[in-house]
Amino acid sequence: MSKAEGHTQTMLTTDPRYPFKSIADRKLAHEKIVDQIRDAIFERKLRPGQKLPPERDLADIFQASRATVRSALLTLKNGGLLEVKQGKNGGAFVSSNIGETELSRVFRDIIGLKGISIDHVIEVRLIIEPQIAYLAAQNAGEQEIEAIWATVRELEQLFKKRSTFHSPDENFHKALAQATKNPMLSVIQASLIDVLFKFIYKVNWNKEYKRNILRHHTNIAEKVEKHSPEAAREAMVLHLSDMKRIISQLPMTRSPRWFR
C-alpha cells in the first residue's frame, strides 16, 4: 500500500464528530478501545446522554473487529459509563448518572458479603444526609429548590393513589444532594439511596406513615428554601429517625438478604 493510499484509508476511518482514532496495533485492542472512550467521556468530549456511533462504524473507526468493539462496550456498560438501550432508537449512550450504577453494585456486594443490616445502612444515612440537607440549604438556587418541591408534590399525588413508594421519594433525597452542588457527595448519596429504596419499594405504608413522610419532606424543603442550614439539618435528623423507627418494626428487615 502506498503512503497516499494509507492516508486515504485513515481519513475514511476517522469520524470528525468523535474523538477516536484507529488502533495502531492489535495488542490489547479491547483495552485500547475502552481507554479511548473512557478518556473521551472524562475529558467531556462525549457528554452525558450522547449516543455513540453504531457498532459497525466504531469497528471501522478503531480498525477492530465488531466482536472486540462489542466487548469494549460491554466493559464500559458494566462499569457504569455507558447505557445500552434496545429498540428503534436504541444504541450505546454515555450514562447520565456516571458512577452511581457501579457504586450501587459495589454497595450491594459489600452488604451481602459482610452481612450488613438495614439498621447499619440507616445509621450511615443519619451521618451523611443531615449534612446534605445543611449544604443544600446553603447552596441551593431557585432551580434546585423547585426540583425539590416538585418531588414533594409528586409523592403527595402518588400517595393518594397507592400505598407503596415510588421514585418521587427517592428523587427527593437525590434532589437535595444535587442542591449541595458537590458532585462527589451526590454520587455517594444516590448510590446508597438506590440500594435502600429497592427494599423500601416493597413496603406497604399506612396512612399515618405516609402523612409523616410528607410532613417531614415538606419541612425539609421549607428549611432549604429559607436557606436555614441548621434547621434543615435538624429536620432531616427527625425524618431519618422516624424512618428508622418504622423500618425497624418490619419483619422483613431481619432477613439477611433484605437488599435483594
pLDDT at 70 over 80: yes
What percentage of the chain has pLDDT greater than the value 90? Answer: 35
Q: What distance in Å separates the CA atoms of residue 195 and residue 193, rounded to the nearest whole number?
A: 5
The more confidently predicted of residues 6 and 173 is 173
Q: Where in the chain is the domain with CATH 1.10.10.10?
A: 3-94
Q: What mean pLDDT, rounded, does the chain reach?
A: 83
- 185 against 9, higher pLDDT: 185
pLDDT at 122 (0 to 100) = 87
Domain with CATH 1.20.120.530 in the chain: 100-254
Type and span of the H or E element at 162 = none
> What number is the average pLDDT over the span 218-222?
97
CA separation for the pair 148, 49 (Å, rounded): 23
- Report pLDDT digits (tens) over 88-124: 888 999 987 766 666 777 888 888 888 888 888 888 9
- SS3 per residue for 31-51: HHHHHHHHHHHHCCCCCCCCE
Indicate whether 136 pLDDT > 50: yes
Per-residue pLDDT of 142-201, as tens digits, reads 999 999 999 999 888 887 776 555 566 788 999 999 999 998 898 888 888 888 877 776
CATH fold for domain 100-254: Four Helix Bundle (Hemerythrin (Met), subunit A) (1.20.120)
The structure's pTM equals 0.68
Fold of the CATH domain 3-94? Arc Repressor Mutant, subunit A (1.10.10)
| pLDDT surpasses 90 at 203 | no
